[in-house]
Amino acid sequence: MPAKDLGTKFVCYKCQTKFYDMKKPDPLCPKCGADQRESPALKPQPEGRRGRLAAAPKVIEPIEPEEPASASEEEEEDLDSFDDDEAAAESEEDEP
């Protein structure tokens, strides 16, 4: 059970010593003397890092699928032209 009368519990950011601040105004590590208010975890990040994260997300528009009916019409046209080519080749072969 934590001791509530000892103040706030800290873990020193320099030497990782666990200690209570004993309700003193300055939370100083008893082992290395580091002021815990100067912890790098408490400092705000530089503006450059926040600026990139706050950028608006890109919107990707969906691609509309092509209609299958138009594709089958193109295939039929290709087949018709293929049949015409075969007929022309056969007529040329028949002529001496």
The residues pairing with 28 across neighbouring beta strands, listed in sequence order, are 35
User: pLDDT in tens for each of the 96 residues of the chain?
Assistant: 565 688 999 999 999 999 999 999 999 999 999 999 988 887 776 666 555 555 667 788 888 877 665 555 556 666 566 555 555 555 555 555
**Which letter, b or e, does each residue of 23-38 get, where b requires 16 or more Cβ atoms within 10 Å of its Cβ?**
eeeebbbeeeebebee
Tell me, what's the pLDDT at 69?
55
pLDDT of residue 72: 56
| Amino acid 55: pLDDT | 62
